[in-house]
């Protein structure tokens, strides 16, 4: 399990004034969320859950299966997180727009480290049994915000590394939403979409939700739109494109994520079938 860490002050969090202005702007847009309203009919919801569970099963199988996921203990690979768009400074947890370097995670314990290249040198965030830490060029970072951010960064990105397998853990509930055309790699493509939620009583990312989009032919994960209650009080939604898959311990793991945040509803501009 990956327990929710303490919520630190993000190194790129908006100021109080900026957050207030953001609230006003988003309220004025009147957009709806990428998470659709589910039907009230119990029968309709039951059907959506059955279809959603089957879709998640096929997604997990396409990425290596739960048996391989449960067997792996540690992953080490080079990864790149890139944040684009006008709202990236609000939700991007990294101190740079393009965070590239080596990541190492103990995926079932919420522990690990992530090193990225900055203008000041290599910055390494870590989360261990004794607590979180941050090193700049091999020495303790002089910026207190780096250590404060480490707990969230390592736990959250360790969680993201575990997608799509996390969608079958900790009481996750899946609803199949149908097919939709969405932008991926600068082109419009059709995907199967599944809404995944976690129960409020859970101790792992409770109340957060994800809309995962799968290739209808290969069943591989292509994009995910999500909100996390640790950031932005749900005013913004983040969509990440996944690419450059590698196979580690029999698991298909994306090593690049391109993420963009938008006001609620911008990611619902699509055509359903």
pLDDT at position 234, please? Answer: 61
Residue numbers in the chain where pLDDT is lower than 70: 1-32, 202-206, 229-234, 264-273
| Edge-to-edge strand ranges of the sheet holding 74-84 | 139-140, 131-136, 121-128, 111-118, 98-106, 74-84, 251-263, 236-248, 221-227, 209-214, 187-197, 173-184
Decide: 241 and 221 in contact? Cβ < 8 Å: no
pLDDT at position 19, please? Answer: 44
Using left for φ > 0, alpha for ψ between -120 and 50, and beta otherwise, residue 144 falls in alpha
pLDDT at position 31, please? Answer: 54
- The whole model's pTM is what? 0.83
β-partners of residue 272 are 180
pLDDT at position 93, please? Answer: 84
DSSP state letters, 80-147: EEEEESTTHHHH--SSSSEEEEEEEEETTTTEEEEEEEETTEEEEEEEETTEEEEEETTEE-S-HHHH
Taking only Cα atoms into account, the Rg of the chain, rounded to an integer number of angstroms, comes to: 18
Tokens of 25: 């702007």
């Amino acid at each position: 399990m990956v327990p929710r860490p303490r919520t630190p002050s993000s190194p790129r969090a908006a100021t109080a004034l900026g957050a207030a202005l953001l609230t006003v702007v988003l309220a004025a847009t009147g957009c709806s969320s990428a998470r659709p309203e589910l039907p009230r009919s119990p029968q309709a919801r039951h059907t959506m859950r059955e279809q959603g569970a089957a879709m998640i099963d096929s997604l997990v199988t396409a990425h290596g299966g739960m048996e391989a996921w449960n067997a792996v203990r540690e992953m080490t690979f080079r990864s790149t997180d890139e944040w684009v768009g006008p709202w990236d400074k609000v939700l991007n947890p990294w101190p740079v727009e393009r965070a590239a370097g080596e990541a190492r995670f103990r995926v079932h314990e919420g522990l690990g480290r992530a090193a990225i290249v900055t203008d000041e040198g290599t910055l390494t965030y870590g989360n261990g049994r004794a607590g979180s830490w941050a090193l700049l060029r091999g020495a303790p970072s002089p910026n207190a915000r780096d250590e404060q951010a480490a707990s969230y960064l390592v736990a959250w990105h360790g969680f993201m590394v575990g997608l799509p397998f996390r969608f079958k853990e900790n009481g996750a509930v899946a609803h199949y939403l149908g097919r939709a055309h969405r932008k991926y790699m600068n082109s419009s493509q059709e995907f199967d979409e599944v809404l995944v939620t976690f129960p409020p009583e859970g101790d792992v990312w409770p109340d957060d939700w994800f809309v995962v989009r799968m290739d209808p032919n290969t069943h591989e994960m292509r994009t995910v739109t999500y909100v996390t209650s640790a950031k932005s009080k749900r005013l913004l939604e983040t969509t990440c494109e996944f690419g450059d898959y590698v196979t580690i311990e029999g698991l298909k793991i994306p090593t690049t994520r391109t993420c963009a945040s938008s006001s609620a509803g911008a990611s619902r501009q699509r055509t359903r079938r």
